Structure 1
């Protein structure tokens, strides 16, 4: 397992995951449904919604196989979402939506389809003005045998409080 601890500026209440060769446009992917569920998906990437329009902590774990989902009661998890993501350049980009692309974090991965599980943690620990908080976003990524990338309409929300 490899771990990456990041702090990402979640401008417009989001950050993105996508292959380095893609330049996804999430404009039409953000609807009332996706905003409520904190996840927008296009054929080229994933936009993770956040509860703050500030720097947020993001922990990314690259795993060899699918992990057992975390226990909500133990880990202060507000919500869990999953989607698939295609890697074609051997580089996953993790960035805020207004971040300068050449300076964005890159993570080396084999080409293929990956499952991405997002845990939205401690969302109840955000100040009333939404400027400060202990919220964080943990992302587990593992290679799958899936042959098709799901479309926006195949969003899976595993658990919500």
Structure 2
């Protein structure tokens, strides 16, 4: 396992994303009720994560050789999606200036991405403070769509 990113991203519009650095990928905007419930959107060359706060949030990106085993009971929400890359990704907040965004090498081709959300229940009423955290696990794997492994139901 290699840590590609461990820091904070400004999740403006409640979003951060991983995108193929070769460009051409537009951020998807079709946030249907189902997509909001799943908390991710996948499009060609891009994976968008919907965060619980519209603030700077802690994000960790890990690269694995195969699908990692995650203890589901430690997470509030777990969802798996796809990301196709040319061998380099950009890691950014929704409104970040792309030339300054983090870039990391990854295997070329199809990757699976498991996003693990924790601390969702710690966010205060105004949505400013909380201990929410977002970990994205990447590994080489054939595209297989989006699957929610653990659903967070607020309230």
Name the TM-score, length of structure 2 as normaliser. Answer: 0.90
Superposition RMSD in Å: 1.3
What is the correspondence of 1:134-153 to structure 2 with a 5 Å cutoff?
Answer: 134-144=131-141, 146=142, 149-150=143-144
Q: Are residues 1:100 and 2:80 paired?
A: no
> Could you tell me how far 1:92 is from its partner in structure 2?
0.9
2:79 aligned partner: 81
Following the alignment from structure 1 to structure 2, what is the Cα–Cα distance between the partners of residues 39 and 66? 18
> Could you tell me how far 1:159 is from its partner in structure 2?
1.2
Q: Are residues 1:117 and 2:114 paired?
A: yes
**Equivalenced residues, count:** 150
Following the alignment from structure 1 to structure 2, what is the Cα–Cα distance between the partners of residues 36 and 141? 21
Question: Per-residue CA shift, 1:114-145, capped at 9, x if unaligned?
Answer: 1100001110011111111110001111112x
Following the alignment from structure 2 to structure 1, what is the Cα–Cα distance between the partners of residues 19 and 63? 15
Q: Are residues 1:64 and 2:65 paired?
A: yes
Following the alignment from structure 1 to structure 2, what is the Cα–Cα distance between the partners of residues 72 and 115? 17
Unaligned runs of 5+ in 1: none
Tell me which of 123, 126, 129 is aligned to 1:126: 123
> Could you tell me how far 1:155 is from its partner in structure 2?
2.2
Please give the secondary structure, in 2, of the residue aligned with 1:102.
helix
2:146 aligned partner: 155
> Could you tell me how far 1:44 is from its partner in structure 2?
2.6
1:25 aligned partner: 27
2:40 aligned partner: 39
Please give the secondary structure, in 2, of the residue aligned with 1:124.
helix
Structure 1 moving runs of 4+ over 6 Å: none
2:88 aligned partner: 91
Unaligned runs of 5+ in 2: none
